[in-house]
Structure 1
Amino acid sequence: MVFALPENLTRDQCVYLTKLIEQVKRYEEMVTFILKVVLSSTPFSKLTVEERNLLFVTYKNLIRSLRASRRVAYTIEQKEEARKNDDLVRLFLLSRILDPRSTPP
């Protein structure tokens, strides 16, 4: 479930929500709020140390989660190749072609 982002959230509220969502490990949703913080900053108002750290944590955790998912799928694909299950191997190949983000780990 992705949050519907209210337009009237302050920068501090977005930082708070980013921290809260991090605690429940909903990393994809962290992006929504930290992005609002980043986009609300102007060239004259830089991100605070806390905001930069949250941005880094959001990126790191999201990428870690995506990589772990991909490793699991790659492991299953390798097992199916070893079993000579060509139908499932073709499905994995098709999913990689359709989603260019999915590359071997």
Structure 2
Amino acid sequence: MTMDKSELVQKAKLAEQAERYDDMAAAMKAVTEQGHELSNEERNLLSVAYKNVVGARRSSWRVISSIEQKTERNEKKQQMGKEYREKIEAELQDICNDVLVKSGKNEQ
């Protein structure tokens, strides 16, 4: 089922209230993919969604980084921490690239 712009915006608002920022970002991403210029409210929703999605991953990155430093004597645990940190870094990079590509397309 394809949702129109107003339904997607409503879904994003609902996701925000439920603190489900990945869902909020997905809804607002779908709005941007429709190719229409975003209103101030829609830009704000997009910004809030991605700010929280990125913020959660940054927090995870800091926690894992700290754990990684504390496990310097245990090579296996340190390797596991390193791999997990790299996974989080890749997610962050994908999220940031995604929003930059979307915003770049809308400015053209």
Q: TM-score, normalised by structure 2?
A: 0.73
Task: Show structure 1 runs of 5+ residues with no match.
Answer: 1-5
Partners of 2:12 and 2:45 within 8 A in 1:
yes
Instruction: From the CA coordinates, give the structure whose radius of gyration is larger.
Output: 1
- The corresponding residue for 2:16 is 22
Q: Which structure has greater helix proportion?
A: 2
Matched letter for residue 67 of structure 1: R
- The corresponding residue for 1:61 is 52
Corresponding residue to 1:101 among 86, 90, 98: 90
SS at match of 2:90: coil
Higher RCO (CA < 8 A, seq sep 6+): 2
SS at match of 1:47: coil
Q: TM-score, normalised by structure 1?
A: 0.75
Q: CA RMSD in A?
A: 2.1
- The corresponding residue for 1:92 is 81
Task: Show structure 2 runs of 5+ residues with no match.
Answer: 93-108
Once the two structures are aligned, what percentage of the paired residues are identical?
34
SS at match of 2:38: coil
